[in-house]
């Protein structure tokens, strides 16, 4: 049986996220304007799409920023067609979609496991 991790005083260990402000733009223009305003004030930020890399890093306190800009609320970021692949498209959608170029299907199928591909996004993987 696996042992539960506990603190020195017997409490359970929790991996709490560091504090940050989460921004929810709804258009590309709004996201770009927000990023520009933060840069102008020398405020560090991260973009987040599926969060498969950023969120675990934040839990481990690896390079957290005071601001996170989520791309999830931008409708065009979810687009998927033969001519357009939005940054919020999960990698699994590329492997399931018949209208995507076969080389993209092949490449996406080689990234991580199927479960990771369900949440990992095109945008997140291009930013790594």
- What per-residue confidence (pLDDT) applies to 58? 94
Domain boundaries, the chain: 21-127
Residues 6+ positions from 71 with CB-CB distance below 8 Å: 25, 31, 47, 48, 49, 77, 87, 88, 123
Distances (CA, A) of 16 to 19, 44, 128: 9, 20, 23
Map residue 29 onto helix, strand or coil.
Answer: helix
- What per-residue confidence (pLDDT) applies to 57? 94
Tens digit of each residue's pLDDT, the chain (128 residues): 444 455 556 666 677 889 999 999 999 999 999 999 999 999 999 999 989 889 999 999 999 999 999 999 999 999 998 889 999 999 999 988 668 888 999 999 999 999 999 999 999 888 76
- What per-residue confidence (pLDDT) applies to 1? 46
Which CATH number describes the domain made up of 21-127?
3.30.43.10
Please list the helix, strand and coil fractions of the chain in percent, rounded to the nearest 5, in that order.
40, 15, 50
- What per-residue confidence (pLDDT) applies to 5? 52
Residue 62 DSSP one-character state: S
Can you give the pTM of this predicted structure? Answer: 0.81
């Amino acid at each position: 049986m696996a042992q539960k991790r506990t603190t020195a005083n017997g409490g359970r260990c929790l991996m709490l996220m560091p504090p940050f402000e989460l921004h929810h733009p709804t258009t590309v223009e709004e996201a770009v304007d927000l990023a520009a305003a933060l840069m102008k004030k020398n405020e560090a930020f991260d973009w987040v799409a599926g969060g498969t890399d950023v969120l675990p890093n934040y839990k481990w306190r690896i390079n957290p920023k005071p601001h996170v800009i989520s791309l999830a609320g931008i409708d065009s970021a979810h687009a998927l067609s033969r001519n357009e692949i939005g940054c919020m498209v999960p990698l699994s959608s590329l492997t399931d979609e018949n209208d995507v170029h076969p080389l993209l299907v092949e490449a996406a199928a080689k990234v991580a496991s199927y479960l990771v591909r369900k949440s990992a996004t095109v945008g997140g993987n291009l930013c790594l």
